[in-house]
Structure 1
Amino acid sequence: MPIIHQKHGIGHHTLVNTHYLSSVDTDVFSPEYWYSQKAVIGEAKGRGTTLLLKTPENQNWVLRHYRRGGLIGKLLYDQFLYAGLSRTRPFMELNLLEDMQKQGLNVPVGVAAQVRRSGMIYRADLITVRIPDARELHQVIQEEALDEDIWLEVGRAIRKMHDVQVYHHDLNVKNIMLDNAGQVWIIDFDRCAQRQASGWKKTNLERLRRSFEKERRRTATYHWEQHDWNTLMVGYRHG
C-alpha cells in the first residue's frame, strides 16, 4: 500500500495511505470534526477515548489520540519527547502495520498518522481501519468457552508475529480480537517494533498469561482454564 509523507507547516507532519486518502485534510484527526459530521458510531475507553467512525464513503475507521499511561500520564497526558520524525509513535506504528500487512499478518490497516511538534514535544494521532465483525477475546470468553481450534489459532497468530520478529509491548487478552469467521487478529502496536534475538518472546507470552490470570480473578464468569493455555501453546509451538 503506497504511504506518502506530507508536511503541513512547521512541525506538522502526516503519513497517508493513499489507498484510502489521496491526501489528508488534517480535520480527519479532529474528534470535533467527526462529531459535527455525525460520523461517530461508538467509543472505546482506554487511557483516553478512541472513536469508532463511519465515513461518508461507508468505511469503518478508528481514530486514536496518543496518551500516556501511569503516573507520568497525569502530568504530561499526551506529550511525548521528540527524537526525530521516524521515531515518533504514530509513524513507527503505521510503518510497522504496513510491514506486517505485507507479510500476511492479521493486524489493522493504517489509514493516516499525524505528528504536531512544538520544540522538543509532540502530540500525535493515528487512524486505522476497524476490523469488521470482531470483538476482544476478553469479551468473548466472558460469554462462552472457546473450541480448541480457536485456542490453537490464537497461538499460531502470536507465533506468526514472533516469526517476523515483532515484539508486542502490551500483548494481553484485550489486544487479541476474534472475528465472526473465527480469524484471530492482534491490535494496538504502539511502542512495538521488530527486534533481534528471541529471549523477549518468552516475556511476551508470560505477559499474556498474566493478563488471562488477572482477568479471571476479577471477572465473575471467565471461560479460561489451564488447558486452554496449554492448547494455545501447542498452536504457538507448531506455528
Structure 2
Amino acid sequence: MATIRRDIGAGHHFIFDDALISEPSVDTFSPEFWQFQNKITGQAQGRGTTIFIQHEQHHWVLRHFKRGGLVGKLLSDQYLFLGVARSRPFEEFRLLKMMREQGLLVPTPVAARIHRQGIIYRGDLITQNIPDSNDLHHMLCRQALSKDDWHNVGKALAAMHNCQVYHHDANIRNIMMDRNRHIWLIDFDRCHKRKGNSWKQSNLNRLLRSLKKEKNKNPVFYWDESEWKHCIAGYRSEVR
C-alpha cells in the first residue's frame, strides 16, 4: 500500500495511505466538518477528545494530539516543530504501518496531518476503528478474563517487543479486546523502536501498576494479582 506525503501550503502537511483514502484535506481532520454531515457516531475522552466517524463504508477514529500533565495545561495541543518526519502524528502513522506489516493487531493508520505555524505545530491522526471492541478497563469492570485471555494479553505484548517497539503507556486502557477475544494494542503516541531488551520489563511493570491502581480505585473490578502469572506465561511463550 502506497504512502504519500504532501504539503498543500499554509503549513499543512499530510501523510496517508492512498489505498484507504484519496486526497485528504484540512476538513478531513475537522470534527466540525464531520458533525455538520452528521457522521460522528461517538466520542471518547482522554487527554483530548477522540471521535468516531462513519463515512461511506469507512469506520474511522480521529484523534487530535494533546499534551497531558502540567505541560498540557500551558501548551495544550502545541508541539515544537523539529521537522515534518519527526512530528508525533507522522511518527505514529509510520510505526503503526510497520507493525501492521509485521502482522500485529494494532489500528490501521489511514492518514495524519500536521499544521505548522512558525516553530510550533498541531496534529491529528485517523485510524480504522477496531469493530466490536472494548478496552480491558471496561471489560474488567464487568467480568473476569479467563486464563487464556490473560495468556493472549501477554502474547500481544511479546509480539510488540519482538518488533522492538517500546510502548510509552502500556496500561489497561490501551489494550483492547474484540468480540472474538483477540487482543489489540492502541495509542502509540511517543512510542518508538528501541534496541536491546533491558527496557522491555518496564512495559510489563506499567501494565501491572495500572491493574493494581484500578483494583484499588474501582469498587467492582474483576482482577486478582494471582492472575498476573498467566499474562507473564503468555509473554514468555512468545517473546524471542
- Counterpart Cα distance in 2 of 1:148 and 1:193: 30
Aligned to 1:6: 6
Letter in 2 for 1:202: Q
1:121 aligns with 2:120: yes
The aligned length equals 238
| C-alpha distance in structure 2 between counterparts of 1:79 and 1:226, whole Å | 39
Structure 2: state its 5+ residue gaps. none
Q: Which moved more, 1:18-27 or 1:93-102?
A: 18-27
- Please identify runs of 4+ aligned residues in structure 1 that moved more than 2 A: none
Query: Deviation digits for residues 102-153 of structure 1, max 9, x if unmatched?
Result: 0000000001000111111000000000001110011001111111111100
Deviations 1:57-86 (A, max 9, x none): 131100010000001111100000011111
Residue 75 of structure 2 corresponds to 76
d(CA) in 1 for partners of 2:25 and 2:85?
A: 21
SS at match of 2:145: coil
Q: Which residue of 1 aligns with 2:209?
A: 210
Aligned to 1:101: 100
Aligned-pair identity (%): 47
Q: Distance in 2 between matches of 1:213 and 1:186?
A: 19
What residue is the counterpart of 1:42 in the other structure?
42
Q: Which residue of structure 1 aligns with residue 155 of structure 2?
A: 156
Post-superposition shift, 1:188?
0.2
Matching of residue 88 in structure 1 with residue 87 in structure 2:
yes
Give the corresponding residue for 2:218. Answer: 219
1:141 maps to 140
1:227 Cα shift? 2.2
Secondary structure in 1 aligned to 2:144? Answer: coil
Q: Distance in 2 between matches of 1:231 and 1:172?
A: 17
**Quick one: distance in 2 between partners of 1:236 and 1:150?**
12
Please give the alpha-carbon distance, in whole angstroms, between the structure 2 residues aligned to 1:16 and 1:159: 28
Aligned counterpart, 1:31? 31
1:13 aligned partner, one-letter code: H
The reply to whether residue 132 of structure 1 matches residue 131 of structure 2 is yes
User: d(CA) in 1 for partners of 2:159 and 2:17?
Assistant: 24
Q: Counterpart in 2 of 1:177? A: 176
Secondary structure of 1:112 counterpart: strand
The RMSD of aligned alpha carbons is 0.8
Deviation at 1:182, TM superposition (A): 1.0
- Aligned-pair distance for 1:21? 1.1
The TM-score with structure 2 as length reference comes to: 0.98
